[in-house]
Structure formats: C-alpha cells, structure tokens
Amino acid sequence: MNIIRLQSLSEPDVQVYSSLTEAQLRNRLDPDKGIFIAESPKVIKVALQAGYEPISLLCEEKHINGDAKEIIDACPDTPVFTGSREMLAQLTGYTLTRGVLCAMRRKSTADFRDLCRDARRIAVIDGVTDTTNIGAIFRSAAALGIDCVLLTPTSCDPLNRRAVRVSMGTIFLVPWTWIDAPISALKEMGFKTVALALTDKSVSIDDAALAAEPRLALILGTEGDGLALNVIENADYTAKIPMAYGVDSLNVAAASAVAFWELRIRNK
C-alpha cells in the first residue's frame, strides 16, 4: 500500500479533490488529459473493471482496512491520501460516501458512427443538463438493453461526479460518446429517429410501428423546455407515454426507463 497521511489541506497532489472545477477536470482543450472523480467502493470497482486508470485515492483512515481495502489492494502502486473524517470533509466540502474517492484518467471518446455501427437501440440525450437525470438515464439504459448512448454538446458530462454516483457506475458499462453532427445524421446509418415529446402528431410509445423498427434512436430532451422544434420536426416519429389522472409528462429519467423497456429488442 502506498499510504500518504495528509499534513495540510493545501498539498498540491490533492487539489484534484478540492479546488478543481468539473470543467477543469474534464479539460476540454485536451480531453486525453482529463480526469474524473469516482465515489464509493462499488462505483470505483466498476470503473476499474471497465479499464479506467486510477491516479490516486482519497480515503478515510478507518476505511483503509475496511470498505476500501479491496480497491486499495487492486491498485497497489496508486497513492492513497488519507486523514481524519473531519479533515477530508473540510478538503472536499462534503462527507465522503463510504469514505473513499478515486481520481481516474478519462478515456478518449469514440466517433459516434463507430459506436452505432452494430447498434439496434440507441439513446440520444439532447440538452439534458441535470446531473441526476444523466446518471439515472444511464442506469436505465444499462438495465434495459440500450446498445449505446449519444450526447449532444449541450448536455451534461456523464463523468460528472454526481452523475457517476447516481448511475451506480453504469456509465462505465454502456458505450457512450458525443455526437458532433446533427441528430438527423443517424438516418444515414439506417436508424429511424423517435422524439419523445407531446405534440398533436405523437403516437403512443406502444405503437406497433415503433417496436417493429429494426434500428431505432430514442431522442430525450430536458423536461423543462423539451426538445427543440427542429429536432421534433426532423424526427421520423414523435411518441408519448399515455398518462392517467391528467398528468402530462414524466421526469426525463423516468420517461427514458419506460421508453427503453417498451421499445427494447424482444428477440435478444
């Protein structure tokens, strides 16, 4: 074990856990040097199994031979910074979940065309900026058989710490990338696009025509403003989830789970 006991909150090697913003961690100018923070032993373990490289760990002393032991043993050469619960809470600004954080190196993202080449059901997240919703959408995508997730540049970073935590690590399981072209470009790859939106032309999510499509891209937008009009107009289908009690819509994360289940490939 490479255990380093912190003597000061200002030590430069732990700035990644305290003073760097999510944007600085992501490093938009040079994504290959980007970092993200994984939180809790379960989530860190999933990330390690998915091939993400650990840079350092931040762990409460009592968890070194407890909840974090398996993680530390799996990363014998990785520095483990430690201190009291109070010191680490002062450093990070919050009490650690299960007492351990891990700074990890980002991977290069794939071209969306490569990711979608053999996919049959994909999700497109368009303009969703709430980190909790992003994490929940990924968790549903993993559980319900979505082949990959694409995000428009106006969407939240999936490797945001809270998004990773809410996803329970499933962000490391579902292939994902940014789509740097109009969503309509998916049609050139043989996908039919379905915008989840309330319009006069929306069909029910259980419409047989949707389920019969061999390749389907489900477009999800923020529950506040919804999808942009041009996205809806350019989609092959517009679909809605039938509601009761006069409810007009669901949170985008809940709606994604319903849509993923209803439009899953049935003969896998």
Whether residue 210 has pLDDT greater than 60: yes
CB 100 within 8 A of CB 125: no
pTM, whole model, 2 decimals?
Answer: 0.90
Mean pLDDT over the full length of the chain? 88
- Work out the pLDDT band at 29, boundaries 50, 70, 90: very low
Give the bridge partners for 124, in sequence order: 150, 219
Instruction: Please tell me if the domain spanning 2-105 has the same topology as the one spanning 112-262.
Output: no
Whether residue 124 has pLDDT greater than 60: yes
Q: What is the pLDDT of residue 55?
A: 93
Q: Which two tokens stand for residue 21?
A: 């913003």
Longest dimension (CA), the chain: 64
Fold of 2-105: 60s Ribosomal Protein L30; Chain: A; (3.30.1330)
- Which class is 112-262 in CATH? alpha beta
Each residue's pLDDT tens digit, 61-82 = 888 888 888 898 988 899 998 8
| Per-domain boundaries in the chain | 2-105, 112-262
Q: Which residues of 139-169 are buried (b: 16+ CB within 10 A; e: fewer)?
A: bbbbebebbbbbbbeebbbbbbbbbbbbbbb
Q: What is the pLDDT of residue 61?
A: 82
- Work out the pLDDT band at 20, boundaries 50, 70, 90: low
Give the bridge partners for 204, in sequence order: 240
State the first-to-last Cα distance of the chain, in angstroms, to the nearest integer: 44
Each residue's pLDDT tens digit, 103-123 = 999 998 899 999 999 999 999
Could you tell me the CA-to-CA distances from 208 to 203, 205, 213, 216, 257 in Å, in that order?
A: 10, 9, 9, 13, 18
